[in-house]
Chain A
């Protein structure tokens, strides 16, 4: 519906559409005409509206048309509005909207001032060395953190609106000439096609743009740190910033990314390589160890060295549960403790540790309910689990799958499940990039930042699997 020349009618129509107490309709006289400034009380900067918009308009001698009142407004970001729905959208987004009697065009002024917390170190990505800034819930702040690191006109930021009701701003961020344009286009198309009521967090976007919607494996990279985000853009990936979410996304995504930490690039390369190898070993232990232990106890005692076997036999004597049930129950208790400790108030956390470790663990062993090796294996698996925090959702499911199959079929079940898993992962693509890159398909150049990383000075090329137009990282030639 178009705006009319009558201010009263326009105000009436808008107030009918957004009749909320926090929407302010401030009437004033601009020159010789009546005018109204409409804004959302908590989202807009009312001081700015007063000083930069209302006051100059009040002081103007004469206002005849849109150009006259636009000329007196002291703000750089303004926009002409012709329909009621545009006015409503602008107000709800936090902008101020100025309507003047006898002029059928509205003026929106960028006076957004959404509530935002300070930029702090994200709790999920603590590091010893390196930048400590983290993304916040405000997309503009997040984008400024990225621009602070990549000062090039080629850094593009395309805004899209997603959510039939929420009208959330979703930004596509990429470096023109470095990112593969096909990926940018595919991403833009996928985001444009998202049809949901609202996007409350970036995880909603992940679910909508993933190729395999039922997969338990991540298909989109996520980070809370602008330094990681920026380095991924520099490699040739495309980023997504969602207003209201401190987690930025990147595509294409490969499995190896979960084993990389931002700190790897800030510390000694030898130590970084050692850490990466440890992460891989930790993941294998966290998935396989409980399964192998159960399989060995049930089907393949010859796997276990004799001295160790005697220790195990001594400790499992009198345990009423079968090895697989015992491991499964212990794992279940661990998962419950884990789930509870994440959600409970922090001050209860210490008590929880005491209850979990001492009361449950110690007492269960003393009472002969579970054996000491089982507790040890679950504890070790649980610790290894957090060596790669980004993978822990997937790992917990895989661990249960391997444990279940080991309980039923023993070692051969583990081999079969591994074969299925390898094939599944190798058949997987994220935005045209093989999920197991650079190991499958094998690419020696990309392996310079693989499980073993080369020296930074030698990493002159961007990853080939990203199919970047600009292949060289450092423009030596």
Chain B
């Protein structure tokens, strides 16, 4: 493991707390409110519960092996199948980054700028994304340690300004039909499925002490933050919540407008945008690492991040103004692919790892 590829359990926990949450802050609250109404937070809770199962499976897989994911997979499934699966994961991460990228682009364009800015204002994002992806996991994980403080400050600002404005009886009644919860759960799947990231980041862990315990606590914190945001969001907007996209910028504006102290809430949104850059780049970074692994580009990590960020930039260039059509397209055509990559394959891999390990142990004992 080179010097640029180190990750501690603490850093992994910070990634789970900050980056897993922030990607769900923009469009998801409005979408889930549209599908599940006041049961939105329940639907999200079910999403988190399912995600936790996958996280737990991934953590067991990571904990049970001293080899990298690629090596273990090659040992169990053979090289051709491993390479194919890894390439599919690279594609998955590129597509997975597409929706948050569109969200980020539209948040910036529609909320921060008085007049619609040109695409050129957003495009430098890809230069920064390329730079972060090129710098590798070590620099990325260290950056997240700084971002945790930024995230805490942003949350404090947004929650402090929005919590008093909520009418929490809007969330009643608590007993909701399961179909409504399921509708929200299934409709939101494209925003979830992040735990598979842990499977890939597990390769860079320098130690695995208390890995499952610490990651579980971090995941719970992440879930609580996101669900709280959805609760407060729905309590503020009630029946019109489904039309209030880019939640952080919308939910805290009332207290600001009334007190006329300037748009202090923008500060929180700016900080969330900063964290979002890393949240999106994490997918690109992982895609880069996967391509490097499969094609053995260990010493040439300049062109791969460049190629991946260029593909992403082209996607944004062509679909920049079609955020909701694009989200609907991804939901319609890529949801099964997402389910396989984010939920099914990690489970298959974990089960295979455990069986393989037991089998090997039995062989050793037999010898």
Residues on A lying within 8 angstroms of B by beta carbon are: 299-308, 409-413, 415-416, 418-420, 422-424, 426-427, 434, 436, 439-442
B255 at the interface (CB under 8 A from A): no
B270 touches A411 (CB 8 A): yes
A-B contacts, 10 of them at CB < 8 A, read A299-B113, A299-B117, A300-B266, A308-B262, A409-B121, A409-B124, A415-B277, A416-B277, A419-B277, A423-B132
Say whether B147 faces chain A, with CB atoms less than 8 Å apart.
yes
Residues of B within 8 A of A440 (CB): 142-143, 145-146
- The distance in angstroms between the C-alpha atoms of A436 and B139, with both chains bound, is 11
Does B140 sit at the interface, judged by CB under 8 A? Answer: yes
The 8 closest A-B pairs by CB, nearest first: A305-B262, A427-B139, A426-B142, A440-B145, A440-B142, A426-B143, A419-B277, A416-B128
Question: What are the residues of chain A within 8 A of B145 when measuring CB–CB?
Answer: 426, 436, 439-442
Q: Are B128 and A420 within 8 A (Cβ)?
A: yes
Provide the main secondary structure of the chain A interface. helix
Report the separation of the CA atoms of residues A441 and B207 in the bound assembly, to the nearest whole angstrom.
15
A412 engages B142 (CB within 8 Å): no
Apart from A416-B128, A427-B138, 11 more pairs, CB < 8 Å: A299-B113, A300-B112, A305-B262, A413-B121, A413-B124, A422-B147, A423-B135, A423-B140, A434-B142, A439-B149, A440-B145
Partner of B121, one of A302, A410, A442: A410
B11 touches A441 (CB 8 A): yes
Asked if residues B260 and A305 are in contact (CB atoms below 8 Å), the reply is: yes
Q: Are B142 and A427 in contact (CB under 8 A)?
A: yes
Contacting residues, chain B, for A411 (C-beta < 8 A): 112, 270
Are B262 and A412 in contact, with the CB atoms below 8 A? no
Do the beta carbons of A415 and B117 come within 8 Å of each other? no
Q: Are B262 and A436 neighbours in the complex by a CB distance under 8 Å?
A: no
Minimum CB–CB distance for A448 against chain B, Å = 17
Closest Cβ of chain B: how far from A404's Cβ, in Å?
12
Q: How far is the CA of A423 from the CA of B277 in the complex (A)?
A: 11
The reply to whether A441 and B263 form a contact with Cβ atoms under 8 Å apart is no
A365 to B46, CA, bound (A): 62
On whether A305 and B142 interact (CB within 8 A), knowing A410-B113, A422-B147, A423-B131, the answer reads: no
Task: Find chain A residues with CB under 8 A from B261 CB.
Answer: 305
Q: Please indicate which of the listed interface residues A420, A423, A441 has the most CB atoms of chain B within 10 Å of its own CB.
A: A423
Complex: A423 Cα to B127 Cα, angstroms: 13
Residues of B within 8 A of A300 (CB): 112-114, 266
Report if B63 contacts A (CB, 8 A): no
B95 CB → nearest A CB, Å: 23
Residues of A within 8 A of B331 (CB): none
Specify the chain B residue showing the minimal Cβ separation from A412. Answer: B108
Indicate whether B334 reaches chain A with its CB closer than 8 angstroms: no
Interface string of B254-285 (1 = CB under 8 A from A): 00000011110010001001100110000000
CA distance A426 to B132 in the complex (A): 11
Known: A300-B114, A412-B108, A442-B10. A427 touches B135 (CB 8 A): yes
Contact with A along B82-122 (1 / 0, CB 8 A): 00000000000000000000000000100011100100011
Which of chain A's residues have a CB closer than 8 A to the CB of B125?
416
Residue B320 interfacial (CB < 8 Å): no
Residue contact A416 to B124, C-beta cutoff 8 Å = yes
Task: Check if B263 sits within 8 Å of A419, measured CB to CB.
Answer: no
> Which one, B121, B128, B142, contacts A419 given CB within 8 A?
B128
B292 in the interface (beta carbon within 8 A)? no
Tell me the smallest distance from the CB of A73 to a CB of chain B, in Å. 54
Instruction: State whether the Cβ of B301 lies closer than 8 Å to any Cβ in chain A.
Output: no
CA distance A419 to B10 in the complex (A): 21
* A422–B117 CB distance below 8 A: no
Task: Give the shortest distance, in Å, between A474 (CB) and chain B (any CB).
Answer: 28
Which residues of chain B are near A442, meaning CB under 8 Å?
10, 145
* Contact flag A412-B122 (CB < 8 Å), given A303-B266, A304-B262, A440-B143: yes
Tell me the complex Cα distance, A426–B108, Å. 26
Closest to B145 in A: A440
User: Contact: A419 with B274, CB < 8 Å?
Assistant: yes
> In the complex the two chains form, is B140's CB within 8 Å of A412's CB?
no
Bound Cα distance A440, B112 (Å): 30
In the complex, what residues of B have CB within 8 A of residue A301's CB?
Answer: 114
- Residues of chain A lying within 8 A (CB to CB) of residue B122: 412
Query: Could you say which residues of chain B place their CB within 8 Å of the CB of A416?
Result: 124-125, 127-128, 277
Contact in complex: B262, A303 (CB < 8 Å):
yes
Cβ of B8 under 8 Å from chain A: yes
The interface residues of chain B lying within 8 Å CB-to-CB of A427 are 4, 135-136, 138-139, 142
User: For A439, what are the chain B residues with a Cβ–Cβ distance below 8 Å?
Assistant: 145-146, 149
- A297: min CB distance to chain B, Å: 11
Q: Are B142 and A302 in contact (CB under 8 A)?
A: no
Residues B112 and A299 in contact, CB atoms below 8 Å apart = yes
> What separation, in Å, do the CA atoms of A434 and B4 have in the docked complex?
12
Question: B270 contacts which chain A residues (CB < 8 A)?
Answer: 411, 415
Q: How far is the CA of A440 from the CA of B139 in the complex (A)?
A: 10
Q: How far is the CB of A288 from chain B (nearest CB, A)?
A: 11
CB distance from B247 to the nearest CB of A (A): 18
Q: State the Cβ distance, B339 to closest chain A Cβ, in Å.
A: 31
Contact present for A423 and B139 (CB under 8 Å): yes
CB pair A415–B273 under 8 Å, yes or no, is: yes
Nearest B residue to A418, CB-CB:
B274
A287 to B13, CA, bound (A): 31
Chain A residues contacting B112 (CB-CB under 8 Å) are 299-300, 410-412
B8 shortest CB reach to chain A, Å: 7
| Interchain CB contact under 8 A, B139 and A415 | no
The reply to whether B113 and A441 form a contact with Cβ atoms under 8 Å apart is no
Within the assembled complex, what's the spacing in Å between the Cα atoms of A305 and B142? 36
Taken together as a complex, chains A and B put the C-alpha atoms of A440 and B7 apart, in Å, by 12
A366 to B139 Cα, complex, angstroms: 50
Residues of B within 8 A of A419 (CB): 128, 132, 274, 277-278
A78 to B273, CA, bound (A): 69
* B278 A302 Cβ-Cβ under 8 A: no
Q: Mask for B130-162, Cβ within 8 A of A = 1, else 0?
A: 011001101110110111010000000000000
Which residues from chain B contact A424 at a C-beta distance below 8 Å? 131
A308: chain B residues within 8 A (beta carbon): 262
Of all chain A residues, the one with the shortest Cβ separation from B267 is A303
* Known contacts A416-B277, A436-B146, A439-B145: A426-B266 contact under CB 8 Å: no
Q: Which residues of A contact B142 (CB under 8 A)?
A: 426-427, 434, 436, 440-441
B266 touches A306 (CB 8 A): no
* C-alpha gap A300/B112 in the complex (Å): 6
B263 to chain A: which residues have CB within 8 Å?
302-303
- Which residues between 188 and 239 of chain B lie within 8 Å of chain A, taking CB atoms? none
Q: Which residues of A contact B128 (CB under 8 A)?
A: 416, 419-420, 423
Give Cα A413 to B113, complex, Å. 12
User: Are B260 and A426 in contact, CB atoms less than 8 angstroms apart?
Assistant: no
Write out the residue numbers on chain A whose beta carbons fall within 8 Å of the beta carbon of B4: 427
Given A308-B262, A422-B146, A442-B10, CB of A415 within 8 Å of CB of B114 = no
Contact A426 B117 (CB under 8 A): no
A439 CA to B114 CA, complexed, in Å: 36
Residue of B nearest to A300 (CB): B112
List, in ascending order, chain A residues with CB within 8 A of B114's CB. Answer: 299-302
- Say how far B32's CB is from chain A's closest CB, in angstroms: 26
Cβ contacts under 8 Å, B140 to chain A:
423
Name the distance in Å between B312's Cβ and chain A's nearest Cβ: 15
